Amino acid sequence: MNRTTRYITRIGVVAALYFVLTAILAPISYGQLQIRVAEALTLLPFIFPETVIGVTIGCFFANLLSPFGVIDMIFGTFFTFLAALLTMFLGKHKKSIFLAPLPPILINAFGVSLYVVTLAGLTGNGSTNLNLSASLKYIFQNLSLIPYLTAVAWIGIGEAIATYALGIPLINALERRKKLAL
C-alpha cells in the first residue's frame, strides 16, 4: 500500500472510530461531567501527523449528536483540532509521550467549559434551540466563574482519564507495532 493510500485510510478509520465511540458512549460523552473515550484518539497525531484530520472530522460528526447543537459542532470541533495540532507538534519535536495529553486536556477543559456550563442551564438537560449568535450572547451574559471553574475541573478530569488511561497505552502499543513493521 502506498503512502497516500495509507494516510487516507488512517484518516478515515480514525474519523469513523471517533464518531462510533462517541455515539455508542453518548451518555458519558457530552455535558459537564463527561468522559469522551474517543478523546484517546487525539493522541494519535503524536505518532501519525495525518490523523489530525481524522480526529477533527470524527469530532465534527460526533458533535452533530451533541445536545449543545451548532455551538459544539463549531467550537468543540475547533478545540479538538487545535489540541490534535499541538499534540502533533509535540510528537514532531520528540517530546515525552506524557506531555501529549496536555493539549487535549487543557484546551477542551477551558474551551468547552465556556459554553457547556451556560448552555446546560438553558433547559436543564443541555439541549438548546438557540441560533449561533443568540447562543454566544447567552454564554457571555451568563458565564459565572465558580460554575465555569467547576466545569473546567470536570471536563479536565474526563479528558485526563481518556488521554492518560486510554490514549497513552494506545500510543505505546501502536509505536511497538510500528517498530515491528519496519
- The full 3-state SS of 149-166, as one line of letters, equals HHHHHHHHHHHHHHHHHH
pLDDT at 73: 96
- Contact indicator for 63, 73 with CB cutoff of 8 Å: yes
pLDDT at 163: 98
Q: At what angle do helices 51-63 and 77-92 cross, to 10 degrees?
A: 160
Judge residue 65's burial from the number of C-beta atoms within 10 Å of its C-beta, 0-12 exposed, 13-18 middle, 19 or more buried: middle
pLDDT at 51: 98
pLDDT at 131: 65
pLDDT at 70: 92
C-alpha–C-alpha distance, residues 84 and 181, integer Å? 25
Tens-digit pLDDT string for the chain (182 aa): 798 999 999 999 999 999 999 999 999 999 878 999 999 999 999 999 999 999 999 999 999 999 998 999 999 999 999 999 999 999 999 899 999 999 999 999 999 998 888 777 643 444 445 566 776 777 767 777 888 899 999 999 999 999 999 999 999 999 998 776 54
For CA atoms 132, 137, 142, 145, the dihedral sign is positive
C-alpha–C-alpha distance, residues 165 and 175, integer Å? 16
pLDDT at 122: 47
CB atoms within 10 A of CB 31: 18
Q: At what angle do helices 102-123 and 77-92 cross, to 10 degrees?
A: 170
- Contact indicator for 128, 68 with CB cutoff of 8 Å: yes
